[in-house]
Copies of this chain bind each other. A is one copy, B any other.
Amino acid sequence: MPLKADLDAIDWKILRELQGDGRMTNVELSNRVGISAPPCLRRVRRLEEAGIIRGYRALLNAPALGMDVVAFCLIGLHHQADAELKTFAERTRGWPIVRDAWMVSGESDFLLHCVASDLGTFQTFVIEELASAPNVDTVRTALTIRRVKDEGLVAFQT
């Protein structure tokens, strides 16, 4: 797996552009980064195969699709042995309301990013699924009011 040292300035430009618009055509991308299309495509393929580009995703407007509730849940478990952590991690993958999840250190053990169509659905999930799941100790919930910033995972110096 290539390290960041294998990437030159053009590779970084490619990553920045594709993080900003993942559906840009290769010719447009090649113009923006200052090389011709064939080597640009080869670089993109290399970045994909190296796993530096993990994939591409359309960003959807949740409220417009009837998903009015976005929330984060901080979960504390009773027991944090490796097997228990894996068990809970697996459980999160089976809950469609949980869109992405992180194992964390600190006051909590997991952070869940949840989306539901309405507050009732979300509350039912928290009470009947999440809080009553085996080994769950504490559940702290933060309902989102609005998104304040939304950029890709990696920062680029402009």
Contacts and interface: CB of A to CB of B under 8 A. Distances in A.
A74 B142 contact: yes
B59 A57 contact: yes
A60 B53 contact: yes
A27 interface: no
A23 to B, nearest CB: 4
Interface string A133-158: 00000001111111111111111010
B59 A147 contact: no
19 contacts: A7-B65, A19-B60, A22-B55, A53-B59, A53-B60, A54-B59, A67-B153, A72-B72, A89-B149, A92-B148, A99-B155, A100-B147, A101-B147, A102-B146, A102-B147, A103-B144, A104-B144, A105-B142, A111-B144
Interface of A: 1-4, 7, 15, 18-23, 50-62, 64-67, 70, 72, 74, 89, 92-93, 96-108, 110-111, 115, 140-155, 157
